Amino acid sequence: MLDIEHVTKVFFPGTVNEKVALENINLHVEKGDVICVIGSNGSGKSTLFNMIAGTFPVTNGTIRIDGRDITNAPEYKRAFFIGRIFQDPTKGTSANMSIEDNMNLAYTKGMKGLRFGLTAERRKEFRKLLEPIGLADRMADNVGLLSGGQRQALTLLMATLSQPSLMLLDEHTAALDPRNAEIVMDLTKHYIEEGKLTAMMVTHNMQFAIDYGNRLIMMDEGHIILDIKGEEKAKLTVPSLVEKFREIRKKDYTSDEGLLTE
């Protein structure tokens, strides 16, 4: 489904600020995979998502989705296959428009024509879809009046409306209070299950990453250092994950030391 081959991203190449954010990343995502991505700050999780979504061009490597090479496709063209949700709840919706107008915008992807898409029939459909997130009676209200949790729930609904091939969830509950975060996470699980979506989710919660999804990826310093799936993942616990991380890093440190002394 998603094939990432030898992707490298270097920020500010050739300057003193040069930073290798991703180094030779190879990742193959199967259809139906639900992958939790963990890693400390600056490990390259967000950069990886930005590369997949096309926010910045890659320095090297190729990205394919459903066999199509999208390495150089602009972000808006990739959006046909990718639904992305940001940490900032204000990014996914337009605040100065009503809920139904926002929904109508997300109903079909791509350039809009001179038609009146928002028909009574479509309103009815939206009402049904908005029922589970408790916004059915506020369809004419401006999105700016909603709380962060409600906006994120709406963003989620809008992103899943077009059944994208891949969902990218970039810590999408991190900016919410615990109760709303839980609600939005439950909705996320519901939509992913219902639509049999393929998803990649960045999270800081190790326990959650272990419990949810069929695959876990750990990133560190621009590398994927752990990729655990299936049964092996089912057996995973927090201490064993931490132990694994230590093991891998220690190996690296010793080799680094080796380099220094020689």
Partner 1 sequence: MIEGILVEGLIFAIMALGILISYRILDMADLTCDGSVATGAAVATMCIVNGLGITVGLIMSFLAGVLCGLVTATIHNKLKLPVLLAGILTMTMLYSVNLRILGNKANVSLVRVDTLYRLFPEWFSFIPSDFAALFGTLIFVVAVTVLMDVFFRTDMGMAIGAMGGNEQVIISQGMNPASLKLIGLGLSNGFIALSGGLLAQYQGFADANLGQGMVVQGLAAVMIGEFLFSSNRISLITLRCILGSIIYKGLMFLGRKYGYLIGITPNDFKLLTGILVIISLTIAKTRSMASDKGARKKAIERTMKKEEENHA
Q: Nearest 5°: CA angle at 144, between 78 and 171?
A: 50
Q: What are residue 215's phi and psi, to 5 degrees?
A: -155, 145
Site size for partner 1 (CB under 8 A)? 35
Beta-strand relationship, 34-39 and 60-65:
unpaired
How far is it, in rounded angstroms, from Cα 84 to Cα 49?
9
Label residue 24 left, alpha or beta by phi (over 0 means left) and psi (-120 to 50 means alpha): left
Among positions 84-143, residues that touch partner 1 (CB under 8 A) are: 84, 86, 90-98, 101-102, 104-106, 108-117, 142
Beta-strand relationship, 34-39 and 198-202:
parallel
Nearer residue to partner 1 within complex by CB, 82 or 219: 82
**Closest distance to partner 1 from the beta carbon of 76 (Å):** 5
**Closest distance to partner 1 from the beta carbon of 88 (Å):** 9
Among positions 37, 58, 79, 228, the unique one binding partner 1 when judged by CB under 8 A: 79
**Closest distance to partner 1 from the beta carbon of 54 (Å):** 9
Nearest to 150 by CA among 161, 170, 136, 168: 136
**Closest distance to partner 1 from the beta carbon of 243 (Å):** 39
When asked if residue 260 is in the footprint of partner 1 (CB under 8 A), the reply is: no
- The one segment of 59-67, 75-83, 174-182, 232-240 that binds partner 1 by CB under 8 A: 75-83
Residue 163: count of CB within 10 angstroms of its CB: 11
Asked if 34 and 191 touch (Cβ cutoff 8 Å), the reply is: no
Among positions 205-234, residues that touch partner 1 (CB under 8 A) are: none
Letters for 29-68 (x = contact with partner 1 by CB under 8 A, - = none) are ----------------------------------------
Asked if 157 and 189 touch (Cβ cutoff 8 Å), the reply is: no
List residues near partner 1 by CB under 8 A.
74-77, 79-80, 83-84, 86, 90-98, 101-102, 104-106, 108-117, 142, 159
